[in-house]
Amino acid sequence: MALPPLNDTITAIATAPGTGAIGVIRLSGPDSFAIATQLFKPKNKQVLRPGKVYYGAICDNEGIIDEAIVLSFKAPHSYTAQDVIELQTHGGPAVLRRVLELSQSHGARLAKPGEFTLRAFVNGRIDLVQAESVLEMVNAQSESARRNAAHGLSKSLSEQLHLIQTDITRVYGNLQAVFDYPEEGVPESEYQTPLNRALTRIDQLLSTAKAGQIAQKGARLALVGKPNAGKSSLLNALLGYQRSIVSNIPGTTRDYLEAPLTLKGIPITAIDTAGIRETEDLIEASGVTAAKDIAAHADLSLYLLDASQEPTPEDFEVIASLEPSRSLLVLSKADLPQVWTQSFNRPLYKVSATKGEGLEELKTAISEKLIGDASSSELWLSSERHAQALKQTRDLIEQALSAPDDLASLDLEEALRALAEITGRGDIAEETLEHIFANFCVGK
């Protein structure tokens, strides 16, 4: 699929599907004002001028379609850096469809997904990092995701990447000069120091990649343990309402149950799993298998140990199978007398779901485990595409540091290309742009 033409006039509904108080139809391109003039009749017969807001009606040959407000923007002072008209009507689907049809009948083309933002990028109003941050802002489901998208929009990430690019470009330029004046050489301060500084900045960004992707996409939190270990009670306590059935009868949860929540600004899907034990019941055995699989693939697992019941060899076996970096041990029913003193050589978080004791400490531990070292950083790297490009850049810089000058120059040239894939500066594959903007909604 080729990129669409970027100099004609496009139109789309810019508000979400469904019924709402207000709907927006957007026009962008050289004929925006001419099309708006044909379908919009301002009160008092005013002439549409840039930078103004008008009240009036949208009409066709049969009469008034709806009352409307028009916002007008003249290139380059608009979202797309083109002439832009935004028509605000009532938000009924029939109204919006009719206005969209009328815009097309007057010469506008229906926009493709992300085409308004693509035009903003191509016309230099935003870079590619900002363009992707627009999508992240639209899709943000949590405060951490919104905050991270805002950093991208404000060019905080672009500025960090620019510093990395500047250091690489500086060394690359020095190496090119050596080819013309080999007797001069490149001092260490003009070679290793800038490249090591670039590596440090890259490492700082990459250390936040896991947290950034979790903030954007959410994390899966598995609650695992023997029957009656308190998994369902803990799930309800974390949610703040009863979602899972709680019973003293072992094996009540025979399948897994999912519920969304937000902890410390992180979107999480909590999963209450079947109690892990040996059983001849085929349905329960299937649930146990699913519980182990969920724990193996979750971003974080909580293994619950009942304070009032001695741990079994199976407890030790399952705990040994869990990676410490992706699991926490929880002493449930901590309001009851603890009848055992075994040590697992790992922190044990004491929680009473019925009394709420220890819940805040556990929530903090969950957050810190998921975010890791990124908790001290304001800016998180949330795109897997960005992370892969930075890893490639890092590898190329390390190669350059140990290579002869001629090969180092080639490595740094490739490193600059890898960075350009993130920012969009320089040549960027059309396939990359197609992939990025295909994920946008129509109208954005």
> From CA 252, how far away is CA 228, in angstroms rounded?
8
- In eight-state DSSP terms, residue 75 is T
* 1 within domain boundaries: no
With pLDDT > 70 as the criterion, what percentage of the chain qualifies? Answer: 90
Predicted local confidence at residue 287, as pLDDT: 74
Q: Is the pLDDT of residue 341 over 80?
A: yes
Predicted confidence at residue 125, as pLDDT, reads 93
Looking at residues 43-54, what average pLDDT do you find?
Answer: 87
- Region of poorest pLDDT, from 8-22, 39-53, 171-185: 171-185
Q: 203-208 long-range CB contacts below 8 Å, 24 or more apart?
A: 203/394, 204/377, 205/157, 205/160, 205/379, 205/381, 205/390, 206/381, 206/387, 206/390, 206/391, 206/394, 207/372, 207/373, 207/374, 207/377, 208/373, 208/374, 208/377, 208/379, 208/380, 208/381
Residue 285 lies in a domain: yes
Q: H helices of 222-372, where?
A: 231-239, 282-297, 313-321, 359-371
Average pLDDT of span 195-207 = 94
Assess if residue 107 is contained within a domain.
yes
**pLDDT-wise least confident of 17-31, 193-207, 254-268, 379-393:** 254-268
Residue 434 tokens read as 């197609």
Mean pLDDT of the chain: 87
- Helices marked H in 115-266: 115-122, 128-139, 143-153, 156-180, 192-206, 209-217, 231-239
- If asked whether residues 83 and 49 sit together in one domain, one would say yes
Least confident of 63-67, 263-267, 413-417, 423-427: 423-427
* pLDDT band, residue 11 (cuts 50/70/90): very high
| Amino acid of residue 281 | D
Cβ-proximal residues to 132 (8 Å cutoff; 6+ apart), any chain: 152, 383, 436
Q: pLDDT digit string (tens) for 359-378?
A: 999 999 999 898 877 766 77
* pLDDT at position 281: 66
Above 90 in pLDDT, residue 438? no
* 331, 305 Cβ separation under 8 angstroms: yes
When divided into structural domains, the chain yields a total of 3
Domain contains 441: no
Same domain, 196 and 237: no
Task: With CA atoms as reference, report the closest residue to 118 among 79, 84, 85, 154.
Answer: 79
Which residue blocks in 40-141 are alpha helix, DSSP H? 93-105, 115-122, 128-139
Q: Given CA atoms 166, 171, 176, 181 in this order, what sign does their dihedral have? A: positive
Which of 342, 376, 410 represents a domain boundary (last residue)? 376
| pLDDT band, residue 26 (cuts 50/70/90) | very high
Nearest to 271 by CA among 250, 290, 252, 249: 290
Task: Tell me: do 331 and 403 sit in the same domain.
Answer: no
The rounded distance, in Å, linking the Cα atoms of 328 and 350 is 11
pLDDT of residue 61: 87
Rounded to an integer, the average pLDDT of 325-339 is: 91
Domain holding 326: CATH number? 3.40.50.300
What's the pLDDT tens digit per position in 114-167? 999 999 999 999 999 999 999 889 888 888 888 888 988 988 999 999 999 999
Tokens of 347: 């922190």
393-398 mean pLDDT: 96
Instruction: Let me know if residue 175 belongs to a domain.
Output: yes
Could you report the per-residue pLDDT of 97-123, keeping only the tens digit for each? 999 999 999 999 999 999 999 999 999
What distances in angstroms separate CA 364 from CA 64, 221, 232, 236, 358, one per listed residue?
A: 57, 14, 20, 17, 10
Same-domain check for residues 197 and 50 = no
CATH number at residue 420: 1.20.120.430
* % of the chain exceeding 90 in pLDDT: 47
- At 102, which CATH number? 3.30.1360.120
Q: Return d(Cα 251, Cα 239) in angstroms, integer.
A: 22
Q: Are residues 249 and 395 in the same domain?
A: no
In this structure, are 168 and 304 located in the same domain?
no
Q: What is the largest CA-CA distance in the chain?
A: 85
pLDDT of 266:
85
Beta bridge partners of 25: 13, 87
> Residue 110: inside a domain, yes or no?
yes
Query: Within this chain, do residues 248 and 324 fall inside the same structural domain, yes or no?
Result: yes
Is pLDDT above 70 for 282?
no
Q: Are residues 81 and 187 in the same domain?
A: no
Minimum mean pLDDT range among 299-308, 395-404, 422-431: 422-431
Q: Give me the domain span that covers residue 240.
A: 217-376
Confidence of residue 255 (pLDDT cuts 50, 70, 90): low
Residue 75 maps to a domain: yes
Residue 29 has pLDDT above 80, yes or no: yes
The answer to whether residues 19 and 162 belong to one domain is no
366 lies in the same domain as 388: no
At which of 109, 125, 141 does a domain end?
A: 125
Q: Bigger pLDDT: 216 or 324?
A: 324
Q: Are residues 146 and 168 in the same domain?
A: yes
Question: What's the whole-number mean pLDDT along residues 343-354?
Answer: 90
Q: Note whether residue 432 is domain-resident.
A: no
> For residue 117, how far is the Cα from the chain centroid?
17
Q: How confident is the model at residue 242 (pLDDT cuts 50, 70, 90)?
A: confident
Q: What pairs with residue 335 in β-bridges?
A: none
Last residue in a domain, options 96, 125, 154: 125
389 in the same domain as 276: no
Q: Are 382 and 148 in contact (CB under 8 A)?
A: yes
> Is 441 in contact with 113 (CB distance < 8 Å)?
yes
